Amino acid sequence: MLGLTLTKNSWAWGACGKHPLARDFFYAGPKDSFIQAVADWIKNGYQRLTQPGWTGKDFFSWRFWARGQKKGFLSCGVIRDSSDSIGRPFPLMIMGSGPLKGWEEQWDLVPLVCEETWAHMEYMAARRFDGFDQFEKDLKLIKPPSPRWSDIRPETQASPSCNLTDLSRITAALINDMSVTITMGNASSTDLNQQAGAWHLLLKENIKYAPSSVFMGGGSSSGSYMAVFSRALVAKDFMGLWSGASIQNKSSESVPGAIGGHELQ
């Protein structure tokens, strides 16, 4: 475990899953309850998904942000396919949780302020480390997103290709079903963040409250998507993210490891 000294106003950084640096599943970072909740959600969903008959041929990678456990707090991270040093697969999650003043009012800018943080996490996920100590050291060096709202807001921002019918369908799904999946096509990480930012702005103009969580990414052969949730996450949501299936889950199923900025269900 990392020897981090945390205060109530600092960010906690954690990582878990599998990485070629380790021979098996690992957990690094402080025992933060929200990070542990996300880890449990991944484990729950992945175990359900990897039943006989599942091929798992695609490579999935997602950036995400989620409402924190109290006002003014945010979590952000990456989850992507990985494996241990002997090739056994399991997703790797790297994430942080802490204060980001004003994000509830400026949530359309969250993809922009989290860009540098996500990029560092993705670098860690792909990097070859000499040992676990080096990984832990790099985890400490992650910079939290900064509330530079006025500085970072672009003077002009591209609008996503969306007609009024599609927009009505998307907002209705988010309001009625409390989740919606938006297709963004095949895009590089830079284009993905630009498209996600444009969709954030469009949604903010059409819904009253910030979502509970947003995932941006997809599979290497299934294209890029943005999955938006206004409710707690359950195992089936992870299964949707990791199978390329539609993530519109109308079920009220509650399982251990459900997250969404509130207590576990």
15 bridge partner residues: 28, 94
Q: Name residues of the chain where pLDDT drops below 50.
A: 1-6, 246-265
In this predicted structure, what is the pLDDT of residue 32? 82
In this predicted structure, what is the pLDDT of residue 159? 60
In this predicted structure, what is the pLDDT of residue 1? 32
In this predicted structure, what is the pLDDT of residue 65? 97
Residue 262 DSSP SS3:
coil
- Residue 26 to residues 22, 60, 144: CA-CA distances in angstroms? 7, 20, 23
223 bridge partner residues: 219
Superfamily of chain region 13-243: pa0076 domain (3.40.1730.10)
215 CA to centre of own chain: 5
**What DSSP line would sit under 192-234, residue for residue?**
HHHHHHHHHHHHHTT-SS--SEEEEEEETTTEEEEEEESS-B-
| 7 half-sphere exposure, CB direction, 13 A CA radius | 2
Handedness of CA 56, 135, 237, 63 (dihedral sign): negative
Instruction: Record the tokens describing residue 51, joined without a space.
Output: 């039943």
Q: How far apart are CA 123 and CA 111, in angstroms?
A: 17
Write the pLDDT tens digit of every residue in 137-185. 999 999 999 998 888 876 555 566 666 667 788 888 888 889 999 888 6
Domain ranges of the chain: 13-243
Q: How far apart are CA 111 and CA 81, in angstroms?
A: 21
**Are 101 and 78 contacting, i.e. CB atoms less than 8 angstroms apart?**
no
